[in-house]
Amino acid sequence: MIQKTTHAPRSTSNATTPSSSSIARLRAVAERADLADVAEKVLAKERLTLDDGARLYRADLHAVGALANHVRERLHGDLAYFNVNQHVNYTNVCNKLCRFCAFQRLPGQAGAYVMTPEDAALKITAQLDEPVTEVHMVAGIHPKLEYGYYLDLLRAVKKARPSIHIKAFTMVELDQIAKKAKKPLAEVLPELVEAGLGSVPGGGAEVFSERVRKLTYHLKISGDEWLAIARTVHRAGLKSNCTMLHGHIETIEERVDHLDRLRRLQDETHGFQTYIPLSFHPDHSEMAHVPGPTAVDELREIAVGRLMLDNIPHIKAYWILMDVPIAQLALSYGADDVDGTVVEEKIYHEAGATTPQKVQRAELVQWIRDAGRVPVERDTVYNVVWSGDESLARAGEHAPVAG
Ligand code: V47
């Protein structure tokens, strides 16, 4: 846990206007890091180039973080978002054989499991006493699951808790579901929505580089395919998140290219809500020899994401993946979201994550306050469920926590 701040959060609104002295300080910090021209673009809200992006990966971290924090506060002030969610990983059977993944099992392998829709519903009813608003439901690509299974899964979860928002199926799963349905995804999506799908998570993007794909996840859809599926999802009126798996064998230029491709699709669809850099956890994977990213790399990834993705509203520091103190620090390096209570995380805990598998809502609120930010509970699509904004609290305007 990082040191508690002794000052009150600077702002209770969702955007701050920096003083001329803080802008002068920002310019000085940027100048010392040879980023004066980048700072001028950031201050003028101009788009950064790919070359700027590559420089941000090599420049002094604190200068990059200060620039990202400026953008974060311009957009969100001191607010930091979280939600009350639970994860359901309905199967760990997967035929994609990604070398970075410790979660996957082959059909019949020890430890392989598939939940029935009823099993998944039981996971939901087990949390009915908690104020859960979202289920994050993703899994491996099980070759034998038929289209009807996915529809039944959505229906069972929705029936177990009708108020829940189902954020489910990565672009990789959607590709498989459409293949099983033997219909174009554009025709499948309305049926999934009818069954209960609310939005789509950001996983499965890895790094769009073909070089990296050939070496580490050659059976998975390509970057172009991931982006095409995201486009179809957004055109169907669904929001999604987006991710980049970093800290393995990818180069700086491949990361910048990935961010640029996300940014270009977002210009077209405006469908991405949140970008989440996913820190590679090597344990128990075929890439266990790769050291994975350091805390410094994680903070930089958050900051560069905030600066390059000028058209994506939110940047998430996923606390499960980063140590909690790093996620807290990330709230001053560009991030404005920490994800949620995450009951029963499996993917990263199979890969050696040492963070807890869930957290109580009150603890999450305290982590955010201890980082000097104002906690705001959101639903999946960023409607405010509860605000820790003290001026609202004084006015008695807290929205009730959804049950
Ligand atoms: O697609 C798998 C990654 C992703 C490992 O949308 C690994 O709100 C690190 O996408 N080390 C799934 N990463 C998780 C994901 C996600 C998480 C939280 C929030 C949201 C959101 C999305 O996890 C996979 C893959 O890219 N992954 N194995 C590993 N060993």
This model's pTM is above 0.85: yes
Distances (CA, A) of 260 to 51, 206, 276: 11, 14, 15
The answer to whether 243 and 203 have CB atoms below 8 angstroms apart is: yes
Show pLDDT as tens, one digit a residue, over the chain (403 residues).
443 433 333 334 467 788 899 999 999 999 999 999 999 999 999 999 999 999 999 999 999 999 999 999 999 999 999 999 999 999 999 999 999 999 999 988 999 999 999 999 999 999 999 999 999 999 999 999 999 999 999 999 999 999 999 999 999 999 999 999 999 999 999 999 999 999 999 999 999 999 999 999 999 999 999 999 999 999 999 999 999 999 999 999 999 999 999 999 999 999 999 999 999 999 999 999 999 999 999 999 999 999 999 999 999 999 998 889 999 999 999 999 999 998 877 887 888 888 887 789 999 999 999 999 999 999 999 999 999 986 544 433 334 333 2
C-beta 204 within 6 A of ligand 1: yes
Task: Supply the residue whose CA is at minimum distance from atom 4 of ligand 1.
Answer: 203
Of 24, 22, 15, which Cα lies nearest the Cα of 74? Answer: 15
What letter would DSSP give residue 278? Answer: E
C-beta 104 within 6 A of ligand 1: no
C-beta 173 within 6 A of ligand 1: no
C-beta 242 within 6 A of ligand 1: no
Give the position of tokens 């991710």.
243
Question: 7 C-alpha to center of ligand 1: Å?
Answer: 35
What letter would DSSP give residue 398? Answer: P
- CA-CA-CA-CA torsion sign (226, 230, 231, 236): positive
Of 244, 278, 345, which is best to mutate to test ligand 1, by the most ligand atoms within 8 angstroms of its C-beta?
278
Of 320, 256, 339, which Cα lies nearest the Cα of 58? Answer: 256
Question: 391 C-alpha to center of ligand 1: Å?
Answer: 36
- Residue 247 CA to residue 285 CA, distance in Å, equals 14
Give the position of tokens 């199926």.
169
Phi/psi at 107 (5° precision): -55, 130
